[in-house]
Amino acid sequence: MRPHGLFIFLLTILSLTTHALAESAPNAGFVPVIDAQTDRQDSIVDRMAFLVEQEQALSVGDVQSLIRANPDILQRPETSVLANGINSGTVWLIANVINPTDSRIVRRVSVGTGWLEQVDFFLVAEDGLLQHFVAGDRIALNERSLAKRLPSADYPFPPGETRLLLRVETADPLKVPFYFSSIATSHSREQSQTAFYSFVYGIMFALSAYTLMLFVSLRQRRYLYYSLYTGSFVAMTASYNGIAMTLLWPEAVVWQQWAPPLLMLCFTSSGLAFATNFLNTRRHRPWLHRATQTLCITYFALFGICFMLNEQGLALRLAFLVVPVFSVLMLYMGVSSWTRGNKSARYFMLGTLASAVGATITALTVTGTVTYTQVGYYAVDLGMVVDAMLLMLALADLVRKNVDARVEAERTAQIDLLTGLNNRRGFLPVAESLWSLVARNHRNIGVAMIDIDHFKSINDRHGHAVGDRILKKIADELDRSRRHGDLLARWGGEEFILLLPETDPAEAVIVAERFRNNIEQLAVSDQGKVIRCTISVGVASRHSKSVTLDEAIAAADEELYQAKIRGRNQVSSGLTSDEPESNRAASTERC
């Protein structure tokens, strides 16, 4: 029993000694430790402790005193990124950095969020020497300790222990990914982010510029609104992540504070303007069109009030409230338009769904509602790229439909609606091209003018409906009788015209005679009565290079007049050349 009792006694003494040592070293055990040799690509917030300022601002000494007095005041993050939402207060991150070597180790400490208003890095060495580095978009770029987009500081950690305190203050969503790495690793991470943003912004800027050029050339406002929509997205995200301040306004601190919420309103408003124009809600959903306009005006008025009152946090809450309302409205308009038969709206609907899902995931990630991931953080950018591509497909589909409609209108304008044949407008361009080609190659070509005999009396006796039936019947027969390559058109009224390529005068007369004979055999029934019709044909041919199509048509028309004078139902032919009148062929009489 004695050895057993001695063993218990020794354990008790050891426990009391350990407890006493722990109390004599207040910095040990409750402040997390980071090895200075750490060189990690990802965030290490989960290896630090944090506390939130309550009502008054704390200094480094205040924080140190609070930790010594009450170690339990420190909290441990559950994830590698600290996210507390909008206006969540100032946060301190604390860790002890241990350098176990005999030489200094240079490390870059940085926060991977570009919209934080002020970030202070405090480094307290064992000898009490304090180093202070400052960053954040409340400070001009050239006044930061390290003139970079993201809050950063380079520090040579001496051998032993250095306390790292990080103070983050912002009215924007508090998202703090903290990086502790070598300068080379930091550069590699920055290059990856630059490549990603270059990809996203390159696509969005190209689409914005392209649609702006379409607006300039076509003067259709939907292209202007789409250009503003994609362009304002680039401006909004660039202002939020600090790229815009770094490149465009490095000294404009006040503008940097207000640009993100203002550009968010511009982005949502231009998106709604594009949606209402593209889906034509003014016509199909007038109440929704008016409600959307009222909503946009109201939001801008409220933003103006926030600006005058210098309530940036309230303006940010307003801007973040707009985003889900915007997404719901866009999605509703897309679904509504698609269900009403607008097929182009399917691209719009899918694109809006992609951007809405992306924006929602990013919002939940930034506010800390869901666990932080890189995919979640960049979801809004990826969603907008998908949205922009699908909306471009929607615009392209709309353009295609407009082109098809224009082509169909032009084709319809060249077609005689009653007979289905080309009209004069459809006939002349093709005939002139053929005539010029034949003239250059010194080939034969002929023109025949055809007129239905006594057609006016048919209309008078039987009515215009019967007259239209006869016109259609004769047109169909003429179309069936023509040779492949001949060009037939309705010239006007009861007149038709026929272009006969590669046809000499004698052949032209034979073709015209066949037409005349086929029509003579044609019979149309009307209420038990059989109506027969005949045609008169005037034929002219090209016998000189200088003869134009207009001259040939005029000559054929004159021959048609001669056929009618001689009794109708016959073919009359002549030559359009400089040959004397005596050489013209005699008229072909009815068989």
pLDDT at residue 417, as a whole number: 85
Using 50, 70 and 90 to split pLDDT, how confident is the model at 330?
confident
pLDDT at residue 342, as a whole number: 75
Q: Which of 452, 445, 447 is nearest to 466 (CA)?
A: 452
Query: Has residue 111 got a pLDDT over 60?
Result: yes
pLDDT at residue 58, as a whole number: 92
Query: Has residue 88 got a pLDDT over 70?
Result: yes
Using 50, 70 and 90 to split pLDDT, how confident is the model at 334?
confident
Backbone phi and psi for residue 528, each to the nearest 5 degrees, phi listed first:
85, -10
Binning the chain into helix, strand and coil, the percentages to the nearest 5 are: 55, 20, 25
Query: Has residue 220 got a pLDDT over 70?
Result: yes
Query: Has residue 23 got a pLDDT over 50?
Result: no
At 475-534, the pLDDT tens digits run: 999 999 898 889 999 998 899 999 999 888 889 999 999 999 999 988 888 777 888 899
At 260-303, the pLDDT tens digits run: 899 989 999 998 998 898 888 888 888 989 999 999 999 999 99
Q: Which two tokens stand for residue 584?
A: 């013209």
At 349-371, the pLDDT tens digits run: 888 888 888 888 887 777 667 77
User: What's the average model confidence in pLDDT over 73-83?
Assistant: 87
The overall average pLDDT reported for the chain is 84
pLDDT at residue 362, as a whole number: 80
Query: Has residue 11 got a pLDDT over 50?
Result: no
Q: Which two tokens stand for residue 354?
A: 């992609």
Question: Which pairs count as long-range contacts for 53-56, CB under 8 Å and 24+ apart, including other chains?
Answer: 53/89, 53/90, 53/91, 53/92, 54/89
Residue 179 CB-half CA count within 13 A: 23
Is 537 in contact with 450 (CB distance < 8 Å)?
Answer: yes
Query: Has residue 214 got a pLDDT over 50?
Result: yes
At 554-569, the pLDDT tens digits run: 999 999 999 999 999 9
pLDDT at residue 96, as a whole number: 95
3-class SS of residue 56: coil
What string of DSSP letters covers 131-161? EEEEESTTS-GGGSSS-SSS-EEEEEEPSEE
User: What's the average model confidence in pLDDT over 83-107?
Assistant: 89
3-class SS of residue 88: coil
pLDDT at residue 554, as a whole number: 92
Element (H, E) at 85: strand 81-85
Query: Has residue 9 got a pLDDT over 50?
Result: no
At 393-402, the pLDDT tens digits run: 877 777 777 7
User: What's the average model confidence in pLDDT over 46-50?
Assistant: 92
Using 50, 70 and 90 to split pLDDT, how confident is the model at 175?
confident
pLDDT at residue 28, as a whole number: 37
Using 50, 70 and 90 to split pLDDT, how confident is the model at 21?
very low
User: What's the average model confidence in pLDDT over 417-436?
Assistant: 89
pLDDT at residue 16, as a whole number: 38
Q: Which of 50, 145, 142, 144 is nearest to 95 (CA)?
A: 50
Would you give the distance in Å from CA 400 to the centre of its chain? Answer: 16
Alpha carbon distance 161, 141 (integer Å): 31
pLDDT at residue 22, as a whole number: 35
DSSP 537: E
Query: Has residue 320 got a pLDDT over 90?
Result: no
pLDDT at residue 294, as a whole number: 92
Q: Which of 268, 264, 261, 238 is nearest to 315 (CA)?
A: 261
Q: What percent of the chain has pLDDT over 90?
A: 40
User: What's the average model confidence in pLDDT over 536-546?
Assistant: 81
